Structure 1
Amino acid sequence: MSTGTPEELAGLMPPQDLKSVYRRTPVDPKAVKSRWWRRLLVVGSALALSAYAVYEMWMVFAAGKITWPEYIVMVLFAMTFCWIALACSTGLAGFYALRFGPKPQWQTAPLTKKTVVLMPTYNEDPARIFAAIEAMASGIIEAGEGEAFDWFIIADTTNPEVMLQEEEALLAIRERLGDKARIFYRRRRENLARKAGNVADFCRRWGRHYDHMLVLDADSLIAPDTLIQLARRMEANPDAGLIQTIPRLIRGTTLVARVQQFATRIYGPIVGTGLAWWVDRDGNFWGHNAIIRTSAFMECAGLPELPGKAPFGGHILSHDFVEAALLRRAGWVVDIAWDLDGSYEESPPSLIDMAVRDRRWCQGNLQHAKVLPTRGLSWVSRMHMVTGIMSYLSSPLWLLLVLAGFALALQAQFIRPEYFPDTFSLFPAWPVLDSERALWLFAVTMLVLFAPKLMGLALGLSDKSLRQESGGAWSLIKSFFLEVILSALIAPVMMLIHSGAVMSVFLGADSGWNPQRRDDGSLPWGDVWRRHRSHVAAGVILGLAAWYNSWQLLAWLSPAILGMLLAVPLSYYTASAKLGEYFAERGWLRIPEEAEAPAIEKALDQTLPYYEERLAKAPTLETLATDPVMARRRLPLIDAVAPRKAGVVKGQDALVFTKLSDTTDPLEAFSFMDNKERAWLLSTPELYQRFVAMTADKAVGAEV
């Protein structure tokens, strides 16, 4: 049997010094420069709009003597409004580019360089992963560019049963594709630095074999023509360091997943295209569905460890933003390919799964505060990081804004105003707010907040193909209102979830690393209640306090209060695949990819049953312990481990060796170990060879 990996070609990927700057000499100096007037137009518009809104808020309070709670409200309002203003101006740029702007040139030249498609995985479903790889690889082969691509599964899997399924899937895909595709597999014994460390390990050992690497995620799916076009664009632009696609969400079965995929499909292109338009050559990396120039990445994007302990120190969790910033700092172009369709991923199936994912993302984004002072970064790269930080800090800021508004109401009711102050005045000092101006400011804020959604709806209604594939104008409109209502109910719950995540990070808690669920997100009522009871309690307290104060305050806070009070049934029902199917059958939240599934998704669906059936019969730990042939079969697939230094013994090595030595029965040896120890045994060549010898001795003894 062939090995899992090609011959190693060692290369350096040094950690970058954040205090010193290296810049390459570009091939075409003009091609690496961004157009300043685009930034001025979009960012300048956002700043002007924010200044206007803050001025209006000042004038609302300036009708009377401004108090300290009002100053707090103004500061919080300014901080939160700036980000929705930037989203609004970005959306306007995106609407223009999609409706009237030219598309980038489509490259047609045959490929001459080598690209590796990387699939990092961590305890994910091997059937889904290998079926997706086969679907993509088969499409590339049919397009006549199979020689230009290799496929490499880089696993960090720690579950022994999943390990064995991955190996079985590798054998299956090699059998099915034969010599038409080169497919490799490596699983690390130690998961150092998580996904970033996984990719870096590949680069140092095999990166020099390839001109480009196209990084996927475990739920990624990219159409073959999109894969080929990305490689062609890299070849056509020698200054391109990274090209990021804008993935679309598909295959959502639950209601919350369908809400997310409708939003990203109808509104997402507006904001994504607008972002690509104004950041220009200073784009960003979202960790997957992007192609990278391997030599540039190895030379310029090695991640250092941040000083201090987790959660702010140590390995950089949200590595993608930082890698893009380092590539750009070195003079490479980072593009966002807003015009390329055919890039897909899946979304979490429940609010609880979103919370688990966002807790990790929250820590990673807040960690960027230590990266912001890095010398030589472009201000746009810093802006990407600040935006990521604010995507989580905005929740506690919004919560504080709500509480500050509540404090204003309490002030009005319980604090006796000084009608006649000590200083001489002919008139009393009435506490006054300009209510007419306040109402106007509220309308402006709502318009700015919903502008990207409204522009996305307008674009959808004006695009005949998109409109028809979404079920027609009425289907699009009713889905728009359903998405707005559900998002409005979910928003206060996510505000509390994100606020809790921010607090836990500042209190020093690490997020850990857990695999994501991809399909049905349903949980028992009891589990949902335990996860959301604090959110319900917050809604009850806020509602009672508002009702006790005034019905006007209760009405003002009612959208947030209602979402909190309904947190448990909202989380439970939106995670139900049955309810999602009910809405799908009636045309709610329909997207074009549901009306006519993309060819690559159809290929996945056709291939997936084979892998599910094959992996249901994959070897188990019991099989390895009782069948010497099957136990020996996986030996070539075990990743190489550096030789042990004399006098140095890893604790895990010693522990597993001792437990193996305590018995001559392989099954009993497994029973002595926990899952971590079994995984270590399966991943250590020397120990596993000892285990194989035990199975052979056991089989010979049984025959005798």
Structure 2
Amino acid sequence: MPPEQPADMPVQSLSCAAEHVRQHTSSLAIRRWWVLGGAVLLSLWGVYEMYSVLSFAGLTFIEYIVLALFSLTFSWITVAFTGAIAGFLTVWKRALLGRSRTMPPSVSKTAVLMPTYNESPERVFAAIETMSRGILSTGQGQAFDWFVISDTTDPQIAIAEEIAFAALRERLGDQSISVYYRRRNRNIARKAGNVADFCRRWGGGYEYLLVLDADSLMEASTMLELVRRMQADPDAGLIQTIPRLINGTTIMARLQQFATRVYGPVMGTGLSWWTQNEGNFWGHNAIIRTQAFMQSAGLPDLKGKPPFGGHILSHDFVEAALLRRAGWKVLIADDLEGSYEECPPSIVDLAIRDRRWCQGNLQHSRVLPTKGLHWISRIHLMTGIMSYLSSPLWLLLILSGLALALQAQFIRPEYFSGEFSLFPSWPRMDAAKALNLFIFTMLILFTPKILGLIAFIRHSAACRAVGGISRLLVSFVVEVVLSALVAPVMMLIHSGAVLSIFLGRDAGWNPQRREDGSLPIRELIYRHRWHMIMGVFLTIAAGLNSTALLAWLSPAIAGMLLSVPLSMVTSDQKVGERLKQWGILRTPEEVSQPDVQRAMLPIRAEYDALIASSPSFRDFLKEPRWQALHCNLMDVPTALRKGEVDALEVVAREKLSQAETLTEALHYLTQPELARVVSNRQLFIQLSQLPEELCENVHHAFAQPESANVG
């Protein structure tokens, strides 16, 4: 790492308003009236229509519940509808006017940060080399410093990172590219803590931070344009790009790629259009003004224990809100291309990622009352919360509707109330209005997709790239059908995640798979067992009522019953490759790879070969040159507060003192303890100096479960 240039990054108070708020230009209120006001009017009309349907002959208790749940879920989707209309009109206007981009004559000093946590070193360092060479080719290499800031805890991956970094430095030679690597010895506050630690120690030397993710790629021209926009607007605190998804090999990954590529521009542009200076941050592929970030976005810990207390997991929304609270603009660069990322390859991987996101977003309920936040920032936080709460609400709506149907079928109604009446009170609904409301709801749901499809067709070059209108329409139908089947499964997954969080279960921190999403059939059955059971329950309950009700619920039931084969097929790379050959779910980036992606392919192959031939952890310990490399790359020890003890280090030190050979030490130490040894210079040297033992069939410590004996 370069010499430290420390700067202060104070922790912000959520109970007191920001002390220093900059004067800033207000956003146009008329845009909020159009999008949010329109959504409110649509919601009121939809709720009134549902009330008319249910109150045809008076409301029962269950009907009141159905009405309340419908009101919440229907109102949730109307904002996407009105925002998509605004985005569609903006995209269409932009296509007619065109756009221009000018390069800045000089670029302010920018730190490019790529946080990584037990990710593939081949992919991380190949991406860094590709992007840095791209910047070098523009003549602006001196303005960018590149940092891989690692929180990796797996010892084998950690040494692979160090070997890849040494190779990267050697491959770049004496070119004007400054690349650095730092692996923290204590993973405090996860990714947000990693970036904050960098800011406090090195942030004083950089005007901007370009924050990436371990799967990010960005064109050099896009990075330079982000810097140019920052330089041109001194009020901008953060500019977020809208990344496109690439490299998907499974059906699930390519399904997400197609959806974001076809529908994403309209949705993202609409969001940017009405939020204006109160945009949002998605944690990566964005540029940040370092001074603004450090002065106003230091995250506090939430009171209490996880899952609702502790470190803020979904830090990005909160950081954007704090930046705006201090008067800095948070902008979404919806018109800027050349920003890319990857996506989970399977339903299971989506569930693992969303479990962590769900906990982080539900934590935002503790952030909502923060003093001084802009009301649009509160809407962003509420959107994050509702993106997961909507699933249990939809599930409850389905179950309440089912209960309503079963009540009418099996429970004897009270035909005569306590008041005198000559006519019985029959449980009835207005069938005509119910049909109209259903059509209207489907219109609200599908309009954003249809507008995205029309806008994509309008872009003739992109449309031709995916095979023309006919092939595009086939892909559209496939996407709609598969998404409809996956949706009820994801609804149950999110509902289970919400339930587990309310039961107090922490999500932990698991690395994300990027390519192969396949799992054994037995594990798939285990993971989807409750989804299938729910499908069977709904089938029996609806079938006991009527064939019409069963047909009405069949889209949801089908996804649940088929969850195992659906998960298996959509995560299989061979099936995904077959659809790719047929041109189904094709995107323009698959036909003509972006320059940065194409440039990365041969570089990635070389890193793959390098890591494949890298030494095992045991061999690494005994090779002097690797020992020297590791010791040179060690981060400074993290200072402990008075009275604080690092329990892992204490236990690891004691086990090492008892071990007489390297084999014994590796057998005694659990993976977390070995990770602490690898991060401590004294303990690492002590481990590497232990004598070998000629003993076979002994497992390495990092292959042992974390629950191994600590005595």
The two structures share one fold, judged by TM-score above 0.5: yes
Structure 2 matches for 1:147-186, cutoff 5 A?
147-179=142-174, 180-186=176-182
Distance verdict in 2 for CA 1:695–1:234, change over 3 Å: farther
Residues 1:351 and 2:347 are matched in the alignment: yes
Whole-Å separation in 1 of the counterparts to 2:308 and 2:640 = 33
Query: Which of 112, 115, 120 is matched with 1:120 structurally?
Result: 115
Distance verdict in 2 for CA 1:650–1:402, change over 3 Å: closer
Whole-Å separation in 2 of the counterparts to 1:402 and 1:549 = 14
Whole-Å separation in 2 of the counterparts to 1:339 and 1:646 = 50
1:643, CA displacement in angstroms?
6.5
Deviations along 1:68-93, whole A, 9 cap, x unmatched?
11111111111001111110001001
Is contact 2:648-2:672 (8 Å) kept?
Answer: no
Deviations along 1:654-701, whole A, 9 cap, x unmatched?
3333333345644543343222222212211232344455579x9xxx
Q: Percent identity?
A: 54
Distance verdict in 2 for CA 1:154–1:422, change over 3 Å: same
**190-199 vs 646-655, which deviates more?**
646-655
2:13 maps to a residue whose letter is D
The answer for the alignment partner of 1:45 in structure 2 is 38
Query: Which of 91, 94, 106 is matched with 1:111 structurally?
Result: 106
1:54 maps to a residue whose letter is V
Is contact 1:286-1:320 (8 Å) kept?
Answer: yes
Query: Which of 70, 76, 79 is matched with 1:83 structurally?
Result: 76
1:642, CA displacement in angstroms?
4.6
3-state SS, counterpart of residue 57 of structure 2: coil
Query: Which of 318, 323, 328 is matched with 2:319 structurally?
Result: 323
1:22, CA displacement in angstroms?
2.0
Distance verdict in 2 for CA 1:246–1:239, change over 3 Å: same
Query: Which of 520, 523, 529 is matched with 2:525 structurally?
Result: 529
Is contact 2:107-2:140 (8 Å) kept?
Answer: no
The answer for the alignment partner of 1:36 in structure 2 is 29
Aligned pair count reads 690
Is contact 1:622-1:667 (8 Å) kept?
Answer: no
The answer for the alignment partner of 1:702 in structure 2 is none
Query: Which of 292, 299, 309 is matched with 2:288 structurally?
Result: 292
The answer for the alignment partner of 1:675 in structure 2 is 671
1:177, CA displacement in angstroms?
1.3
Query: Which of 414, 419, 440 is matched with 2:436 structurally?
Result: 440
The answer for the alignment partner of 2:338 in structure 1 is 342
**274-283 vs 465-474, which deviates more?**
465-474
Is contact 1:625-1:667 (8 Å) kept?
Answer: no
Distance verdict in 2 for CA 1:132–1:586, change over 3 Å: same
The answer for the alignment partner of 1:390 in structure 2 is 386
3-state SS, counterpart of residue 557 of structure 1: helix
The answer for the alignment partner of 2:704 in structure 1 is none
Whole-Å separation in 1 of the counterparts to 2:646 and 2:418 = 77
Is contact 1:223-1:600 (8 Å) kept?
Answer: yes
What's the TM-score once normalised by structure 2's chain length?
A: 0.94
Is contact 1:327-1:333 (8 Å) kept?
Answer: yes
Whole-Å separation in 1 of the counterparts to 2:407 and 2:641 = 70
Whole-Å separation in 2 of the counterparts to 1:234 and 1:647 = 44
Whole-Å separation in 1 of the counterparts to 2:434 and 2:154 = 57
Structure 2 matches for 1:217-616, cutoff 5 A?
217-616=213-612
What residue ranges of structure 2 are gaps of 5+ in the alignment?
695-711
Is contact 2:368-2:378 (8 Å) kept?
Answer: yes
Query: Which of 123, 128, 132 is matched with 1:133 structurally?
Result: 128
What residue ranges of structure 1 are gaps of 5+ in the alignment?
699-704
Whole-Å separation in 2 of the counterparts to 1:576 and 1:584 = 12
1:7 maps to a residue whose letter is P
1:627, CA displacement in angstroms?
2.3
Whole-Å separation in 2 of the counterparts to 1:582 and 1:56 = 46
Whole-Å separation in 2 of the counterparts to 1:652 and 1:371 = 32
Residues 1:623 and 2:616 are matched in the alignment: no
Is contact 2:107-2:224 (8 Å) kept?
Answer: no
Whole-Å separation in 2 of the counterparts to 1:257 and 1:84 = 24
Residues 1:15 and 2:11 are matched in the alignment: yes
3-state SS, counterpart of residue 117 of structure 1: strand
Distance verdict in 2 for CA 1:659–1:25, change over 3 Å: closer
Deviations along 1:30-72, whole A, 9 cap, x unmatched?
3xx2111100100011111111111111111222111111111
Whole-Å separation in 2 of the counterparts to 1:103 and 1:297 = 33
Whole-Å separation in 2 of the counterparts to 1:71 and 1:649 = 55
Is contact 2:213-2:284 (8 Å) kept?
Answer: yes
CA RMSD of aligned residues (A): 1.9
Is contact 2:104-2:224 (8 Å) kept?
Answer: no
Whole-Å separation in 2 of the counterparts to 1:22 and 1:298 = 13
The answer for the alignment partner of 1:701 in structure 2 is none
Whole-Å separation in 2 of the counterparts to 1:151 and 1:492 = 42
Is contact 2:22-2:326 (8 Å) kept?
Answer: no
2:336 maps to a residue whose letter is L
Distance verdict in 2 for CA 1:38–1:667, change over 3 Å: same
Is contact 2:466-2:472 (8 Å) kept?
Answer: yes
The answer for the alignment partner of 2:700 in structure 1 is none
2:349 maps to a residue whose letter is D
Residues 1:55 and 2:55 are matched in the alignment: no
Whole-Å separation in 2 of the counterparts to 1:395 and 1:208 = 44
3-state SS, counterpart of residue 181 of structure 2: strand
3-state SS, counterpart of residue 518 of structure 2: coil
1:487, CA displacement in angstroms?
0.3
1:609, CA displacement in angstroms?
0.7
